[in-house]
Structure 1
Amino acid sequence: MKPRLLPLMISAALLPSAALAQDQREDTAAPTPRQMDTVQVTGSLIPRAQVEGPSPITSITAEDMEKQGFTNVFDALRSLPQSNGSVQDSQFTGGYTPGAKTVSLFGLDPSYTLTLLNGRPMSSYPLAYNGSTSIVDIANIPMGMIERIDVLTGGQSSVYGSAAIAGVVNIILKDHVEGTHLRYRVGGYEDGGGASQRFQFSGGTAFGNLNLSYALELSKQKPIYAYQRDEVDSVEDNPTGQGIYPSRSFLRQVTNTGATAYVDPGQATCDPLNYMFGGSNSYSLRDVAGGGYYCGSPRNVGAASLMSESEAVNGSVFLRYDITPETEFYTDLLVSYSKPTYTGGLPSWNQTFYNQDAGRFELWQRIFSPEEVGLHSKDQRVYTRSYNIATGVRGPLGDTGFDYNVYLNRSWSNAIRKSTDFLAANGVDDYYLGPRLGTNGGYPVFSPNLARLYQPLSRELYGQFSATNRAESESQTQNITALVTNTSLFELPAGSVGFAAIVQGQQEKFSNQSTMPGSENLFRGNGGSTTAAGSRDLAAAGVEFQVPILESFNANVSARYDKYSLEGGGGNGKLTWKTGLEFRPTDTLLLRGSYATAFRSPDLFYLYSRQSSGFSTATDQYLCRQAGFTSENFDDCAQGGQSIRAVSTGNTDLRDITANTFTYGVVWSTPDNALTASLDFNSVFIENEVAVLGSGDILETEANCRLGASESGTPFDINSPTCRDVLAQVTRLGPNDPVTPNGITEVATYPINLSKQRQNGLQAQIDYRWNGGNWGDFSTSIGHYRVLKHETKYQEGDPTYDQLCCNNSNELHYRTTASLSWNKGPMGATLWGINNAPTWRQDGEHRDIGPWTTFNGSFSYRFNEKMGVLFTMNNITNQMPPRDRTNGGWPFYDTGNYNVFGRSGTLEFQVDL
């Protein structure tokens, strides 16, 4: 029987969820008007009094995240209504960045969202997202050190520069802590795995003019494996009803053209191997053309990790020294270390060769079981270290009315990736096949040892045949910034004109090695890799004005020029600007709108990627579809899921990605701000997008071009610009190859500016709080985002693709979140829920998978001023991903939108001294 949560956790699921009951007197007090002192607001360089501005902004406090059940920054940001795009997480172990986490606003590429720490830029993650794109990793931002997170949507390049196309995520840490605070949290998942612990310590002290705040967070997360979830522990969980054949853990296949067939090992050969894969290995039949009998298991997929094992240490120090009562010297430091561990499954080996003894071409294959080599034999570890430090001086410029802030900022990240791979020499090939005897038709010739193929492999032999593939990557961003502001530059009849000017110099540098240098020679069948290194300098200057045109009508105008200089010569410059308008006909009503130009400078990976090669798993859709197979049964095709060599290079001639963004909306509140509602329309138009199609995308498009139409019937012209480009990227064998006539030898790709994208949608928010008298205080919040249009056109002459349709995209076309909180005396509770729109079936025929609705709950109690407890339960109803009866590919659901983690609970003890 699977372990269950403590009875306390089960019964607590019936409670509404929980709010932390700290500062109850403040929480339960009658509503008061908003503070009107000027503060720094994300999206503007000028301190301002109004909470709402010309662009929609969502703020999530640390208290919000805790009482809504989120255990990390990624989960909190990914659950926002505007974060409707599908992103890779720890379930996607076949990618380049399973240890990193990012979000997608408006369904756009994560690189279109600028992530800041205390308003300052962070270095990109050293490994490339999808092997080609820079992202900022939010996996190691410590929850216990966060004050709030601001999410500002729409183009913000005129204030922040590159990447702020979809919006800005500004993570603001606590820079002032009084007293000493201790937190210890423990949790786990009802269906097993995922046990976690977290310890947080924070405090602050003062020494005369020096104020020091500090914090430390230690966390540990156990993994969740597929074998721990009934929905995905076997390929027999396939929901299509058609069945999936067991994986070929022991296979010998004749591959001669026209005579492809499995070599029957006989049941007597397979029976002694039945103990493998948890007793599921057996004599199996794959009843397809070119198939036959073999020894296989449906449960080898269970060894894949769904949630990474991880250990992390984070620390922060904030130093403030008053040079004068108005002038402050400051230093902010955040240091992080983490070690996520993940695996895509068990080690495997295969080789196509000419069998000299049998006089024919053959394929031999092994998938090694946990009983042979252990569950952790293919673990990959990413040792990630990073720091962010800023030091500067801020204060008034005498009695001029101007304030200044001059600082140096440096952000650095280092990732060491370690994996266990088979050696190319003196390894597994020699063990099974013996010495190479020559070449036949381009294939190696061996006299193999057949007896060894059906023998278990010992851990000792696996250790001899494999070695650690260690690769180190690094990225850094450093800048010097000078900011001058004046909230009253001069007076107009309607009020004071605000002003800000910024000058910035910055350098970006990175070195990326996703595999060991020379790994293509050291290791056999080395997976896809990225090798790149380069740097560039930035000089930027910008201004911003806040202009009161009428007493009730304000304009905010900003402009910025960014100039990049590339290593080795060349560069680019871009001027961006923004105009925002605010009209307040009454004190409780705001009409707002903004228009902005924005840009994304080309990724360093796109610019400086060296020619690199590797192998990725993809289906030769042209040969498979030509043979009568479809996406529903590509696994039955001889060319389905094969290892394909891919090569790529960078392109320093890339132009900036440009964008125009437009928003307008309305905000209304009651005089006491107890009820606030907003509705905003957003529009984004992007040009000169950089695109690098993956091997799977290229091969799908190539098949569409060669066959004249996609599987769904969309016509393709083989003479169109896209088809001509794609056909040139795929190199195939000749028609007389002895094993795979017209088979793929290589897929080549490189980044180019080509596509256009248009996206628009509606975002809405309603917040209401009221006093229930003896029943306590209540508050509720509802957020919603709906995509109205999302289209992409890759090149002139190509059709326009609806990204909300069929298989073009898996973004959510709407998302709704809602919460209800209650506080009374020392107790607090919150119930939070999210409703995700239905997604498209795998076959692209209907959008009827889901919707998927989950609830989180929390309950808190303060024993006294110094001690309290917080209990949370996530996915209270234990919702699993909705079944897609057309998805025959394990794990049978879209990992970008769903997970099978299930119900979880945490218990946190709090001490405040």
Structure 2
Amino acid sequence: MVCSSMGLASGRKQFQNRSARLRAPRKGYILQHASSAYGYVKPSVCIADRLLYSRLPLKNATVLYKRIHGKEWHYMHRFKNLPAHTALSLLIAYAIPSFCQTAYAQAADESAAASDTKAVLVTGSRIPRASKEGPTSVTVITGEDIEKQGYRNVFDALSSQTQNTGMTQGADFGNTFTPAANTISLRGLGPNHTLILLNGRRIADYPVAYDGSVNFVNLANIPSALVDRIEILNSGASAVYGSDAIAGVVNIITKKQVSGIDFNIKAGGTQHGGGSNQRIQLTGGGSSGNLSGVFGVELSRTQPVWSRQRDFMSSTSSDGTAPTRILSRQNVDSGKYVDPGATCSQLGNLFYDSVVRVQSKSGAYCGSGKAQPAFWTTMTQNESENLFGSLSYQLGAKTEVFSDLMLGFNATQNNTRGPSWTSEAVGNSYFFNQNSGANESWSRRISPEEIGAATRYNRKWNDVAANLTVGIRGDIPSTSSWNYEAAYNISAYTSRKTTPLLLNSVDSFFLGPRLGYDADGVAIYAPDPSRLSQPLTPAQFNSITGEAISRDKSWTQTLSLSANGELFNLPAGPVRLAAVTEFGSQGFSNTPDPQINQGVFYNQAAANGASGSRQRYALGTELNIPILKQLVATVAGRYDEYSFAGRNDGKFTYNTGLEFRPAKTLLFRGNYATSFRAPDMNYIYSSTTRGYYSSTTDYYRCQQAGQPLAGCDYNNYSPGANYIQTGSKDLKSENGKSWSYGAVWSPSSNFDISADFWRIQIDNLVTNLDPDTILHNEANCRNGELDPNSPTCVDALRRVQRNPANAIFNPNAIQNILVNPINAAQERTSGLDISGKWRIKAGGAGDFLLKANYTKVLSHHYKQFSDDPDTDELNSLTNADWGSKVNASVTWLRDKWTSTVQVTRYGSLPNADQTARVSPFALVNLSASYQISPQASISLIVNNVFNSVKQDNSAGWPYYPVGNYNPYGRQGWVEFNYHFGS
């Protein structure tokens, strides 16, 4: 049902009686032409009703509304021709603007009759308008879409959208800095170039930087039970929202009006084992006098999927690759392994009975193909509790106070590597064996059987996220169309990470006491070889293992004041203006466990904490100008200034848009916007940070060994090289610009189609120096392809630190890559978005709703320095983003049945070996629901109906494109809903 609130021309004192005959609705459908049941009301008042959410038969019913004058605003309503068995409840409330927006956006998604609706707010503008379609396209995902299209949560729904063409490292990625978080990458520009809002307001970043570099918002903590809808603005919008809104804006809008209590329970799992999950949701609300409220609770639990539970990736040796070393003794001087003989049989029952003696070109060792899969979770374990509450109180006909509170508690566990030990790892990784008289390097991997279970070595995160908003809104006195809102919002995120680590006593556990050092500084031991081959007990493992606990937090707060209304009238209509001023601040801190720097743990580099904060203020304005009845212009401008690290950085951005409607069924639109992004605080305040890349290609050693890249021992090796990263307080803001143009054709309320071309460019891009580029340049400088004395070579050779060429162990191996952020790069991309929907009424066969969305990236170029040639990222074999994406669905509704088939097709990707492309891939989801009674329904949901897994064997285990797809296979759930109350 459409709500008539927020109409700027709605200053009338009389409220006419209205009525509408309602068509028979079915689940998932919005009642058509219902806006005629409402008259104009005051700008800050919205009438809504339970019919919007009802699944009950209402055919030929009539609803009447009438305003009754008096000190307070009241309404009476009357129903005619209601079926005798149907119990209807009409919720009449003074709702906040975002609720009015909710009602409209849902209705507009199903009807092209924009003229029948009144003005509401839509993401991308602060001026209410009468049509969802404006100068820039907006994609809407309803809370019901999340369920019926098979999405597990808010992140799933967003990541499946066609605009999300970028690959991201999420909770199920594996080796990553942020395995307890999920994010998206609109247009393939990275998670830090998409602004994420909750009810139109900023929320705190995840306190640990994505990929160790950029700040982002964690989407794993948004409970789907509380989502009314999600709006995605498909263009830059810094002139409206400020920093970060370069690739687009995602606005997650929670429910504001609920009548009664809704209970939902959902349970399921994967066909091939692991991943069982359960979820309980409880939402409710109501009103008493001038007070109304909504509450929600969501509890969920997910068990992990381990690599060993999927046959195709249960062993790293299934493609003929040599088994991973479990036990080895290497003579460093000769480079040969000391034959373990029958020793391997003593370990044969470890790693699920897979340890064997392996003969290699360097000698024999004990190995297993299940060493890595045994400790790798491809779906993280998670338990979460999310709470939400919203209250509003009507002080009078013109004023309302409101507040929202959301709390989230998340406990996450994952595992990407089991415990392993190498002798004297903090030194040269070898020692002088007094018993053999040789320099030796010993190594040992510890199995799940020896520690009790693989979960004993899980990393754990305990996160708490909180968002609070309080405010007041209403009409500005002595005006007929102006209203205001003043609000304060604060958001905070804390994360406690627990990491199991071997203690520094592990060398003596396997080697015995250190006997001193030889003349070259090499440690001397007289070890007993049986210590290496003897399986450990869980108690022994506990004696050499401890836990490091790090604490991270982030926060943001904003005080805002906004107003909108009519300035004056033109022949084509009123000129409308919106203005906003904001004051805010944000900060973060990363605090590592002090035991790391005290030398408590084995082979741990020094860990330095980091923290910082910054303040900002902003002034913005926006105009909506009806030049002609058919032509409307939008102009917005905003100035933001940030204060950090002892300096100020300001930026003015602007936005212009045109809407031309030569006919009621046709819209031509265009938009040009400038945007910016303040430097990530992690880039600014990061202290010296040490870490490692998930994988690295050492081009120099490949050339040195005379090996082609495809078969090189040093190609894409994992884990990759170590790096040392430092921040920079001299970074400047990024500058962006975007433009788009397109058309929308809606010949009837049952059909519409739109097409939009878009282009986005970022200049002065803040980026860490690309390690792959550094290694490319370094190799070419060493082999003479580039001038060794050129600035590029001097810089590259300085940044790559290697072992000496005459080192006894691992000569010329990379020790560290030195990286730091710079303002140098440019990135630009362009593409095409096409979307459409078609409703078909098939009489007794029911109704069908067809939807489709398509995104095609036409170009994507990047260059690190202004004088560098462009890199074609779209066709690059090192870029794992998709070049195209399609979403399509068919929903069938008949009587008490509703069913949806959802298909997502992903474009091609480079293979893991970066030598060719893997073919496109499609996933099919299915849901079916049955309305048992007016209060109860049951649903069956199946994801990946055809049990498809995209495999890629080109570069070995794990044999699938990690980060782009998942290896779960078919998943299924059963869901039950029940509504308490009228």
Common fold, TM-score beyond 0.5? yes
**Cα distance change of structure 1 residues 844 and 645 upon mapping to structure 2, 3 Å threshold:** closer
1:760 to 812, 830, 852: 830
* Cα offset, 1:105, TM superposition: 0.6
**Cα distance change of structure 1 residues 610 and 402 upon mapping to structure 2, 3 Å threshold:** same
3-state DSSP of counterpart to 1:76: helix
Equivalent AA in structure 2 for residue 674 of structure 1:
N
Match of 1:172 in 2: 253
Equivalent AA in structure 2 for residue 663 of structure 1:
S
Kept in 2: contact 1:127–1:514 (CA 8 A): no
Mapped to 1, the partners of 2:672 and 2:211 lie a distance apart of 31
Match of 2:209 in 1: 128
- Listed one character per residue, the Cα deviations across residues 544-597 of structure 1 (whole Å, up to 9, x for unaligned) are 00011111111110011110001x411201000010111111111111111111
Q: Kindly report which structure 2 residues correspond to 1:422-441, keeping only aligned pairs within 5 A, or say none.
A: 422-424=502-504, 426-435=505-514, 437-438=516-517, 441=520
- Listed one character per residue, the Cα deviations across residues 723-777 of structure 1 (whole Å, up to 9, x for unaligned) are 4433221122333333233333332211111111110000100111121111111
* Cα offset, 1:178, TM superposition: 0.8
Mapped to 1, the partners of 2:447 and 2:749 lie a distance apart of 62
Larger mean Cα displacement after TM superposition, 616-625 or 305-314: 616-625
1:537 aligns with 2:568: no
1:369 to 447, 450, 453: 447
2:967 to 892, 900, 903: 900
Match of 2:23 in 1: none
Match of 1:297 in 2: 368
Mapped to 2, the partners of 1:529 and 1:775 lie a distance apart of 66
3-state DSSP of counterpart to 2:455: coil
* Cα offset, 1:649, TM superposition: 1.3
User: Rg larger in 1 or in 2?
Assistant: 2
Mapped to 2, the partners of 1:458 and 1:698 lie a distance apart of 45
**Cα distance change of structure 1 residues 589 and 636 upon mapping to structure 2, 3 Å threshold:** closer
Mapped to 2, the partners of 1:66 and 1:898 lie a distance apart of 20
Q: Kindly report which structure 2 residues correspond to 1:193-212, keeping only aligned pairs within 5 A, or say none.
A: 193-212=274-293
Mapped to 2, the partners of 1:99 and 1:447 lie a distance apart of 43
3-state DSSP of counterpart to 2:599: helix
* Cα offset, 1:438, TM superposition: 2.1
**Cα distance change of structure 1 residues 910 and 810 upon mapping to structure 2, 3 Å threshold:** same
What RMSD, in angstroms, separates the aligned Cα atoms of the two structures? Answer: 2.3
Mapped to 2, the partners of 1:163 and 1:700 lie a distance apart of 31
3-state DSSP of counterpart to 1:377: helix
Equivalent AA in structure 2 for residue 903 of structure 1:
R
Mapped to 1, the partners of 2:389 and 2:970 lie a distance apart of 36
Mapped to 2, the partners of 1:520 and 1:59 lie a distance apart of 52
Mapped to 2, the partners of 1:322 and 1:442 lie a distance apart of 78
Q: Kindly report which structure 2 residues correspond to 1:212-611, keeping only aligned pairs within 5 A, or say none.
A: 212-238=293-319, 243-256=320-333, 259-266=334-341, 268-287=342-361, 291-303=362-374, 304-351=376-423, 352-357=429-434, 358-373=436-451, 374-400=453-479, 401-424=481-504, 426-435=505-514, 437-438=516-517, 441=520, 443-486=522-565, 488-513=566-591, 518-519=596-597, 521-526=599-604, 531-566=609-644, 568-611=645-688
Mapped to 1, the partners of 2:513 and 2:890 lie a distance apart of 68
3-state DSSP of counterpart to 1:295: strand
1:688 aligns with 2:760: no
Kept in 2: contact 1:19–1:67 (CA 8 A): no
Match of 2:41 in 1: none
Structure 2 gaps of 5+ residues are 1-26, 31-52, 61-109, 424-428
Kept in 1: contact 2:699–2:714 (CA 8 A): no
2:903 to 814, 833, 838: 833
Match of 1:92 in 2: 173
Mapped to 2, the partners of 1:643 and 1:681 lie a distance apart of 39
**Cα distance change of structure 1 residues 778 and 694 upon mapping to structure 2, 3 Å threshold:** same
- Listed one character per residue, the Cα deviations across residues 445-471 of structure 1 (whole Å, up to 9, x for unaligned) are 433332211111221121111111100
* Cα offset, 1:93, TM superposition: 2.3
- Listed one character per residue, the Cα deviations across residues 2-45 of structure 1 (whole Å, up to 9, x for unaligned) are xxxxxxxxxxxxxxxx9699734689999683452111110001
Kept in 2: contact 1:79–1:834 (CA 8 A): yes
Kept in 1: contact 2:496–2:550 (CA 8 A): yes
Match of 1:884 in 2: 952
Kept in 1: contact 2:596–2:604 (CA 8 A): no
**Cα distance change of structure 1 residues 202 and 648 upon mapping to structure 2, 3 Å threshold:** same
Larger mean Cα displacement after TM superposition, 891-900 or 432-441: 432-441
- Listed one character per residue, the Cα deviations across residues 354-377 of structure 1 (whole Å, up to 9, x for unaligned) are 224133332211111111112113
Kept in 2: contact 1:415–1:472 (CA 8 A): yes
Q: Which has the higher contact order (CA 8 A, sep 6+)?
A: 1
Equivalent AA in structure 2 for residue 129 of structure 1:
Y
Mapped to 2, the partners of 1:221 and 1:143 lie a distance apart of 15
Kept in 1: contact 2:660–2:667 (CA 8 A): yes
3-state DSSP of counterpart to 1:521: coil
Equivalent AA in structure 1 for residue 413 of structure 2:
T
**Cα distance change of structure 1 residues 297 and 741 upon mapping to structure 2, 3 Å threshold:** closer
1:731 aligns with 2:809: no
Match of 2:185 in 1: 104
- Listed one character per residue, the Cα deviations across residues 284-318 of structure 1 (whole Å, up to 9, x for unaligned) are 1223xxx2210000011222000001000000000
Larger mean Cα displacement after TM superposition, 699-708 or 330-339: 699-708
Equivalent AA in structure 1 for residue 930 of structure 2:
Y
* Cα offset, 1:194, TM superposition: 0.4
Mapped to 2, the partners of 1:157 and 1:187 lie a distance apart of 42
**Cα distance change of structure 1 residues 630 and 419 upon mapping to structure 2, 3 Å threshold:** farther
Mapped to 2, the partners of 1:396 and 1:175 lie a distance apart of 20
* Cα offset, 1:681, TM superposition: 0.6
3-state DSSP of counterpart to 2:243: coil
Kept in 2: contact 1:469–1:519 (CA 8 A): no
Equivalent AA in structure 1 for residue 484 of structure 2:
Y
**Cα distance change of structure 1 residues 680 and 636 upon mapping to structure 2, 3 Å threshold:** closer
1:23 aligns with 2:54: yes
* Cα offset, 1:844, TM superposition: 3.2
1:623 to 693, 697, 701: 701
Mapped to 1, the partners of 2:131 and 2:714 lie a distance apart of 62
**Cα distance change of structure 1 residues 528 and 842 upon mapping to structure 2, 3 Å threshold:** farther
Mapped to 1, the partners of 2:296 and 2:826 lie a distance apart of 45
Mapped to 2, the partners of 1:498 and 1:128 lie a distance apart of 41
Kept in 2: contact 1:20–1:828 (CA 8 A): no
Kept in 2: contact 1:156–1:598 (CA 8 A): yes
3-state DSSP of counterpart to 1:339: strand
TM-score (norm 1): 0.92
1:657 aligns with 2:734: yes
Kept in 1: contact 2:433–2:440 (CA 8 A): no
Kept in 1: contact 2:877–2:916 (CA 8 A): no
The count of residues paired between Structure 1 and Structure 2 equals 873
Match of 2:80 in 1: none
- Listed one character per residue, the Cα deviations across residues 479-513 of structure 1 (whole Å, up to 9, x for unaligned) are 10000111x21111221111011000000110023
Mapped to 1, the partners of 2:443 and 2:773 lie a distance apart of 27
Equivalent AA in structure 2 for residue 313 of structure 1:
E
Kept in 1: contact 2:55–2:934 (CA 8 A): no
* Cα offset, 1:612, TM superposition: 2.7
Match of 1:15 in 2: none
Mapped to 2, the partners of 1:207 and 1:517 lie a distance apart of 55
Match of 2:977 in 1: 910
* Cα offset, 1:674, TM superposition: 1.1
